[in-house]
Amino acid sequence: MRTALHTAMFGLALLFSANALADRPANYFAIGLADAQFDPDKYAPRDETNLDLRLGHEFRPYLAAELRLGTSLHSDSGKGTEVSFAAGLARFNLPFERVTLYGLLGLAGGKADVPNFDDGFSGLAFGGGVALYGTERSALGIEYMQYGTSDRYRTLGVSLVHHFRPPKPRF
């Protein structure tokens, strides 16, 4: 599962890079690292380190669609935890001069390979964050996300975001 996820992430990154070279202006990608917690309803929470790849398309300065793929890099030692997920999200932006506040809402599904919980999880995904622009095309993102409502996978992390063109003019 992990190899397939890494292959898919790499392939999608190449696709979006090719679109950038073809001057398709509204795409962006990000790579993030997060402190994560998998909290199934019937079992004890598990701490994780999460790596995710985000691919997005801005329709307007205030609205974007985003695809996320993620996997755990490190888990509680000796507990054999591995979590991988995919999410389709709507991103609602509030852009300012060098800062964008945003909220995310969508659907997510994933696989949790946890002792006594070899099952998938799915449901609503939501969160929010802030993107701090260092240049017109690059930003540092800080965000909180929750994937699922009953068997929850929560992340709090940072990401590097790259737009293939500068974002639309701000307030």
First-to-last alpha carbon distance for the chain, in angstroms, is 43
**Structure tokens belonging to residue 48:** 């994780």
Q: Is residue 168 part of a domain?
A: no
Q: Is residue 170 part of a domain?
A: no
For residue 156, pLDDT beyond 70: yes
Sign of the C-alpha dihedral computed for residues 100, 103, 106 and 111 taken in this order: positive
Q: Up-side HSE of residue 54: CA atoms within 13 Å toward CB?
A: 27
Q: How confident is the model at residue 25 (pLDDT cuts 50, 70, 90)?
A: very low
What percent of the chain lies above the pLDDT cut of 70? 70
SS3 assignment for the chain:
CHHHHHHHHHHHHHHHHHHHHCCCCCEEEEEEEEEEEEECCCCCCEEEEEEEEEEEEEEECCEEEEEEEEEEEEECCCCCCEEEEEEEEEEEEEECCCEEEEEEEEEEEEEEEECCEEEEEEEEEEEEEEEEECCCCEEEEEEEEEECCCCEEEEEEEEEEEECCCCCCCC
Residue 72 exposed, middle or buried by CB count within 10 Å (0-12, 13-18, 19+): buried
Nearest to 57 by CA among 30, 31, 29, 27: 27
pLDDT in tens, 72-120: 886 555 555 678 889 999 999 998 888 999 999 999 988 877 666 666 7
Instruction: Residue 72: give its domain's CATH number.
Output: 2.40.160.20
* Average pLDDT value for the chain: 79
Q: Print the domain residue range for 151.
A: 2-163
Q: Is residue 169 part of a domain?
A: no
Q: Is residue 118 part of a domain?
A: yes
Q: Is residue 83 part of a domain?
A: yes
Q: Is residue 145 part of a domain?
A: yes
pLDDT in tens, 34-66: 988 877 666 667 778 889 999 999 888 889 999
When divided into structural domains, the chain yields a total of 1
